[in-house]
Amino acid sequence: MKRPSILLACILSFAAGAYAKPAALQVEATGEPELMLRGKDARQQLLVTAKLDDGALRDFTHKVNYAASPAGIVKVDSDGVVTPLADGMATVTADVEGVSASLPVKVEKAATVEPINFPNQIVPIFTKASCNSGGCHGKASGQNGFKLSLLGFEPMEDYEHLVKEARGRRVFPAAPDNSLLLMKGIGSTPHGGGRRIDQDSDDYRLLVRWIAQGMPYGKDTDPKLESVEVLPKVRTMALNGEQQLVVLAHFTDGSVHDVTRSALYEPNDKSMAKTEEDGRVTMLDQPGDVGVMVRYQGKVSVFRATVPLGQKVENLPKPVNFVDEIVFAKLRSIGMPPSPDSDDATFLRRVSLDIAGRVPSLDETRKFVADADPAKRDKLIDSLLDSAEYADFFANKWSALLRNKRSKPTDARGNFAFHSWIRDAMKANKPYDQFVREIVAASGEIEENPPVAWYRQVKDPQQQLEDTAQLFLGMRLQCAQCHHHPYEKWSQQDYYSFSAFFSQVGRKPSAVKENEMIFHKRGVATAVNKKTKQPVKPAGLGAVPQEIAADEDPRIVLADWMSDKANPFFAKALVNRYWKHFFNRGIVEPEDDMRETNPPSNPELLDALAAHFVKSGYDMKGLIREMTRSRAYQFSAMPNEFNKNDRQNFSRYYPRRLPAEVLYDAVNQLTNAPSSFAGLPAGTRAISLPDNSFNAGSYFLVVFGRPESSSACECERTQEASLAQCLHLLNAKDIQDKLSSNSGRSAQLAADPRPDDQKLGDLYQLAYSRQPDSAELTLAKAHLDKPRKDAEGKPLDPIAAKRQGYEDVLWAILNTKEFLFNH
Amino acid sequence: MRSVAELPVPLLNSVTPMGGKIGTETEITIAGADLDEADALHFSHPGITATLKSPNHFAVKIAPEVPVGNYDVRVVGKLGVSNPRAFVAGDRPEITGTKAHDKAEAAVQMPMGSVFNGNVTAAASDFFKFPAKKGERVIIVCATKEIDSRMSPVLAVLDAAGREIESARKGGVLDFTAPSDGQFFATVHDLTFAGGPDYFYRLTISKGPHVEFIFPPAGAPGSKAAFTIYGRGLPGGKPANLSGGDKKPLEKLDVEIALPTVDDAAHKRFSRPMSAVDDGIFYSVKSADGSSNPVFIGFSTEPLSREVEPNNKPGQAQKISVPCEVAGQFYPAADVDCYAFDAKKGDVYWLEVYSHRTGRTTSPFLLVQREGTDIKEVYASDADPGGKKFSTLSNDPAFRFQAKDDGTYRVSVSDLFGATRSNPASTYRLVIRKETPDFRLVAVVEPPANAANKNDRAAAPRGVMLRSGETTAVRVIAIRRDGFNGAIELSATNLPEGVKCVPMKIADGKTEGVLLLTAGDKPAKNCSAIQIVGKAKIGDGEVQREASGGAVVWTVADYNIDAVPSRLTADFSIAVNGAEAAPIRIESAEDKVWQAAKDAKLDIPLVIKRSGEFKEALKLKAAGIAAVDAVKEIDVDAKASTATVSLDLKALKIPAGEHTIFLSTQTKGKYRGKDVATTIYSAPIRIAIQ
């Protein structure tokens, strides 16, 4: 029909790679066999899907020619948008390359203009045009005297402000085009926000008509929005491929309307996909899974795309457990060959760092590499899980998240006690649900029952519920305090109902004023929804409100709801957090932002891990064992020719820099330097520090990002690289002292009578758990053998020269990525 | 910190070792301040005696008949008698004179069943080693707060390679079962790695016995009653099918214990935690290997029964007939115990729970209801008669119940701290008694007020010294019960020769008063225990109670920031020494009762004698009864040797009857070459108004 569109289609498809010829086409709109258009304002975006020879589905919405027959009933534009012209039946046909498909269309009341409903039709225009965004008129104070509710959550308020405020100066029914609202919107009069809508657009025309109609609000009996649906829901796409989405709004009267051009689109990983305002999604060049969040008037839905790499996957090892089975299935379906297995030295170092927060000792390295036992990796995992260092490392992790923070000197005793309690729980492998219960429902005095310390930092129900949700349910509810959560289904009602669990927390001063005693204040748990000013009963997220008797501690009811087998969030949050700990990327990322609109990259994996975890009795060590035993965890970090860009399919190990405390201990171990922290026994490792107060005395820990325990987010620990870190390792006096100390490694090695080959071998094993290769040996030995002069120019004696040489080699090793990273 | 020091009195910080084996002699070293010419140690049991060997070193003999337990020791020197410190008479071999070290290689070898006395160093752990066979159960106990130490112990057991096997962070008890034959290390450190001479401990490594708790936690005094002891390593103990607070299995042992009567003084010689203000005894389990830790058994005042589970729901309420006592446990977690009793309209009962005061880490809560309607939620009271300097607060609630109608009432008992804690040792005793007004007294010596800083919030231990003609004041705290608001007359008995005490009153409704002790001219040198007694008219009769001694254990600079550690003492000791004269001696010119007519004007002449270098002018403030608080301060010139107290009886509205008043002043002077400040008390002045 329209030649330019065919040309365009050809060009587009060439750009996307090889042009695939469709074997069959399908046209759909709402999923019904017949498309119904009612009223003059009706519009419908079509979705044309082609099935290729190899069975793959591809979006051809913008690649086909459209025709409607008989003429005059509907018209279809080149983007596949259908507009009604007159009542009757017609058939819309799409064809390309000789393949075609059609869809019957029925038009009713084509001449009727349905009365406009303000919340259903006008408010979405403001959302789409970003008028009511948090940056402009949607913020709490509005913009330049005009306030709209954020993202249109409160249509009645919007109507008040728009139509009645300021003596109705914003709308001019007698001459609608001259309404201030429209003139500002199209930028024909100065507007800080610029031009938000086009004069030649359906939205503009609808606004004009609405104003001309006298700005009707709509009737109470008008249908209300119930949900939104996106088509397709899931699709496998090609790299750089394109997909048109269709967004359908379902109303309470059963009617369905196309809101594709009014909805908002956002991918959950911007490095994988980008979206257009008209609902077109384009993949970039990273294979994997991406979710596109679709939002319309407070309802959300998600489109999930999988982009395979499409390579042959032949070298998968035999799966060891369900983790492998599911990860490998994904690699096969995506067509991404994994990297090979890591060697023993790499695995030893990696798993020691991930489980026990330390590099292996020289002895451990020698023994492990020489051990011929085929089960040695599993045994190593078991022995690391049994070690005191595992307890230290994970106590350190949880201590920061549980805000074990030294805000004043009198916090010290409570902090030591709380850290010790967490460590004991890790050591004894206390079931996770019990661990959480004892924190959330903690009562008593801080030294007698240390988890009460959590309540010392998290002081009011708002903070308590937000931390609980973020830490234990993997959800960020903060936004829902003041308005409906923009990305998730949680409303203020949900927020305040959840806070009601914490409404009966009593506090009474103990002998030390700062250490309050926590207990359940008898009374019926209730909170007030700050929006509606109505009382609300405690309710778990998505659960029914509870009647909790005055005598019952509602926090125990909360703990019961969380640890219930059927709770959809509790187990998933933990397994996802621990997955991220070991695999450097959560199955949902970020790990505490789990929502429908941020879907897991491998939902089967997440579900299976969660089910396994619950079935095991919330066994944390058991979970770690399953994850680290898997071949998936043990892949090498070195990419093959295909998986360099893999960020979420776990086809290789994703390296990351050692966390601050682990690095500090590793540097000390390598240089044989003592660590000392004020008030703690000499030799205390940074991994064992009980709270954040020791950061103040250690520039190293601060510059490498040790958190201050001010937040329930693991992101408080900065893993970012910085110039300050490089400079510190290169130049700091602290490091120089460790290198040049008389009792340090350099001095030891210099005085050691063995040949350099052997000593360098030890050094490399200490740093990297491997032997140096011949090139490294040659380079190092050449450096060690260089004759040196002292400051006056006199040649140094051999031992002094050797020592300097070893200091240099050690310094170089300290600064290598291989040392600084876990890989 | 005070800008000018107080008049010095011996301060005892530590005795090393902190105990000894009964029937043996041991050498101890004392440390503290102002221990000039310390030449004697005063123990709260006559069977423990000491002789001076060299400065601050004593040879202590513990006679074989001394019972196992914690006693008080005070040092007596030129400047008086000090505050007490705990001294343990034990029945195990003691290791003393050995220093513990912070390295495994230098670990102290501990024979099974022995006790080590030492102190931790800051930022370090002390290492010990002991052998054990596979499956052998070893109980490691570290006593600290019980013996007045600042330390909060953390214990750990390591294997021969130095790897931690297990640790115990609270309670000072580690119950360890050896996983294999071999040598094991035990380590001890303070919770925050603090250390120094004040962080002393007694470490016992043995096979037990160790008592976790006793049930019921009370019995009728003067009776022989059946109890079950729960613990570890109990001689003849059987599995109890219960786990302790550390989740280790407990044993049980049924015993019959003959409880002494309330007046039996022998059981009062032990030093007790502040919470044990009420009556009871400390009981230890004996075994061939040694005695256990002491556990408190309260004296019941009503017929005692036990709770019967299930009684968690109102429908399951256990029927009891009041007045009575019920012994129960807050167990398992979130346990609620319901009891139902009948009462007639107008019946008055006091409901009280004893739990926290017996050493449990609980916070009991009472709910009184009738047929589903709440009558009262009872939390523990915030009223603290002792104040922050000597807190007598506890978490135990009490409530005056008056039945509005005939009917069945229900009381539910639960532990506010027990929501997530399953610990069978959380025992309690619910007492429902007829209103029985009564009182208990605690006598404490406090340092003189800080004249320079009225907002001083320090608390410190203090000893006693009576020089020739000196008067000292004792603070007596009254803990009133069941609404008793009447006056309490205080007096002292068993005073040493030359020391007098005039009865004084704690006024109606007040929770503290003062008792003055006055030494005469050149009294003989003496240190002995006295009894302070309170008498009150309650109902138709008279009730007499002996005051417990109380002491602050360590100095605290600001009681709003740090809790003041304090406890009851085994006795109340004073020292008298006529070698020096009181800095300033103030007394009425005649030793008589000053008579006056109602509404008259009464002038009482005073005689003032100064000694040493206390030469400042004085401002005397009258005290003793509320009415004289309005008397203006009396100025006394530095050179004056007389003064007059003028009482305008009409204006002051002093009621008819006999009263005792006194004067006090804060003054500065020089003592032993240093500037000191002190509070001077006059001898009591008796007046009688017609």
Q: For A682-723, what is each residue's pLDDT tens digit? A: 989 999 999 999 999 999 999 999 999 998 998 889 888 899
Q: For A765-800, what is each residue's pLDDT tens digit? A: 999 999 999 999 999 999 998 888 888 888 888 888
Whether this model's ipTM surpasses 0.90 comes out as yes
Residue A20: is its pLDDT beyond 80?
Answer: no
Q: What does the DSSP 8-state code read for residue A167?
A: G
Q: Which run of H or of E encompasses B34?
A: none
Which of A413, A447, A556 is opposite residue B419, by nearest beta carbon? A556
pLDDT at B449: 83
pLDDT at B1: 58
pLDDT at B655: 87
3-state SS assignment for residue A819: helix
Mutate to test the interface with B, among A416, A501, A555 (most CBs of B within 10 A): A416
**Contact list, B162 vs chain A (CB under 8 Å):** none
Residues composing chain A: 823
**Contact list, B163 vs chain A (CB under 8 Å):** 387-388
- Which residue type sits at A22? P
- Which residue type sits at A778? T
The percentage of chain A sitting over the pLDDT mark of 70, rounded to a whole number, equals 97
Mutate to test the interface with B, among A387, A522, A556, A693 (most CBs of B within 10 A): A522
Burial class (CB in 10 A: 0-12, 13-18, 19+), A803: buried
Strands in B249-258's sheet, in edge-to-edge order, are B210-215, B224-232, B249-258, B238-243
Averaged over B154-167, what is the pLDDT? 93
Averaged over A426-443, what is the pLDDT? 96
**Contact list, B191 vs chain A (CB under 8 Å):** 413, 416-417, 420, 447
Can you say whether the dihedral through the CA atoms of A20, A26, A27, A30 is positive or negative?
negative
B583-690 and B304-435 share a CATH fold: no
Which of A437, A519, A679 is opposite residue B123, by nearest beta carbon? A679
Q: What contacts B245, CB < 8 A, 6 or more positions away?
A: B171, B212, B421, B423, B425
**Homologous superfamily of B583-690:** Immunoglobulins (2.60.40.10)
Q: For B182-205, what is each residue's pLDDT tens digit? A: 999 999 999 999 999 999 999 999
pLDDT at B673: 87
What's the mean pLDDT when you consider all of chain B? 93
Residue B207: is its pLDDT beyond 90?
Answer: yes
The percentage of chain B sitting over the pLDDT mark of 70, rounded to a whole number, equals 99
Residue A15: is its pLDDT beyond 70?
Answer: no
Statement: the pTM of the whole predicted model exceeds 0.80 = yes
* CATH (one of 3.30.300.30, 2.60.40.10, 3.40.309.10, 2.130.10.10) for A1-115: 2.60.40.10
> Is the CB of residue A575 less than 8 Å from the CB of residue A613?
yes
∠ CA A461-A467-A470, rounded to 5°: 135
Q: For A550-573, what is each residue's pLDDT tens digit? A: 889 999 999 999 999 999 999 999
| Tokens found for residue B480 | 């009133």
Residue B315: is its pLDDT beyond 80?
Answer: yes
CATH number assigned to the domain covering B304-435:
2.60.120.380
**Topology adopted by domain A225-307:** Immunoglobulin-like (2.60.40)
| Tokens found for residue B117 | 């006395």
Contact between chains at A681 and B334 (C-beta distance less than 8 A): no
| Tokens found for residue B617 | 């002018």
Which of B125, B393, B417 is opposite residue A444, by nearest beta carbon? B417
Q: For A376-430, what is each residue's pLDDT tens digit? A: 999 999 999 999 999 999 999 999 999 999 998 889 999 999 999 999 999 999 9
pLDDT at B95: 92
Q: Where are the domains of chain B?
A: 5-90, 94-206, 210-299, 304-435, 438-580, 583-690
A225-307 and A1-115 share a CATH fold: yes
Which of A413, A511, A514 is opposite residue B192, by nearest beta carbon? A413
Q: Where does B233-320 show beta strands of DSSP type E?
A: 238-243, 249-258, 272-273, 280-283, 286-287, 290-291, 295-299, 304-306, 318-319
By C-alpha distance, the chain A residue nearest B559 is A512
> Is the CB of residue B643 less than 8 Å from the CB of residue B620?
yes
A574: region left, alpha or beta (phi > 0 left; psi from -120 to 50 alpha): alpha
pLDDT at B97: 81
| Tokens found for residue A598 | 């941020």
Q: How far is CA A145 from CA A184, B193, B269, in A?
A: 14, 60, 80
CATH class, B5-90 region? mainly beta
In total, the C-beta contacts within 8 angstroms joining chain A to chain B are: 98
Mutate to test the interface with A, among B338, B420, B421, B457 (most CBs of A within 10 A): B420
Residue B7: is its pLDDT beyond 80?
Answer: yes
Which of A388, A512, A520 is opposite residue B419, by nearest beta carbon? A520
pLDDT at A13: 46
Longest dimension (CA), chain A: 105
By C-alpha distance, the chain B residue nearest A520 is B416
Q: Where are the domains of chain A?
A: 1-115, 118-212, 225-307, 431-564
CATH number assigned to the domain covering B94-206:
2.60.120.380
Contact between chains at B169 and A679 (C-beta distance less than 8 A): no
pLDDT at A1: 46
Q: Is the peptide bond before B565 cis (omega within 30 degrees of 0)?
A: no
Contact between chains at B563 and A511 (C-beta distance less than 8 A): yes
pLDDT at A2: 47
pLDDT at B477: 95
Whole-number Å distance between alpha carbons of B169 and B176: 14
The bridge status of strand B512-519 relative to strand B57-62 is: unpaired
**Contact list, A506 vs chain B (CB under 8 Å):** 416
Instruction: Spell out a b/e string for B585-594, using b for 16 or more CB atoms within 10 Å of the CB, else e.
Output: bbbbeeeeeb
pLDDT at A789: 85
Contact between chains at B361 and A680 (C-beta distance less than 8 A): no
pLDDT at B685: 94
Q: How far does the CA of residue B386 sit from the closest CA of chain A (Å)?
A: 13
| Tokens found for residue B293 | 């830790």
B389: region left, alpha or beta (phi > 0 left; psi from -120 to 50 alpha): alpha
Residue A483: is its pLDDT beyond 80?
Answer: no
- Which residue type sits at B43? F
**Contact list, A520 vs chain B (CB under 8 Å):** 416, 419
Contact between chains at B152 and A449 (C-beta distance less than 8 A): no
* Region of poorest pLDDT, from A223-237, A475-489, A636-650, B671-685: A475-489
∠ CA A752-A755-A756, rounded to 5°: 90
By C-alpha distance, the chain A residue nearest B121 is A681
Confidence of residue B265 (pLDDT cuts 50, 70, 90): low
Q: How far does the CA of residue A519 sit from the closest CA of chain B (Å)?
A: 5
A660: region left, alpha or beta (phi > 0 left; psi from -120 to 50 alpha): alpha
Confidence of residue B575 (pLDDT cuts 50, 70, 90): very high
Question: Which chain B residues have any C-beta within 8 angstroms of a chain A C-beta?
Answer: 102, 122-125, 152, 154, 163-164, 166-167, 169-170, 189, 191-194, 334, 336, 361, 363, 365, 367, 377, 391, 393, 412, 414, 416-421, 560-564
Instruction: Spell out a b/e string for A570-604, using b for 16 or more CB atoms within 10 Å of the CB, else e.
Output: bbbbbbbbbbbbbbbbbbbbbbbbbbebbbbbbee
pLDDT at A512: 76
3-state SS assignment for residue A312: coil
CA B288 from centroid of its chain's CA atoms:
31
**Topology adopted by domain B438-580:** Immunoglobulin-like (2.60.40)
Whole-number Å distance between alpha carbons of A693 and A708: 8
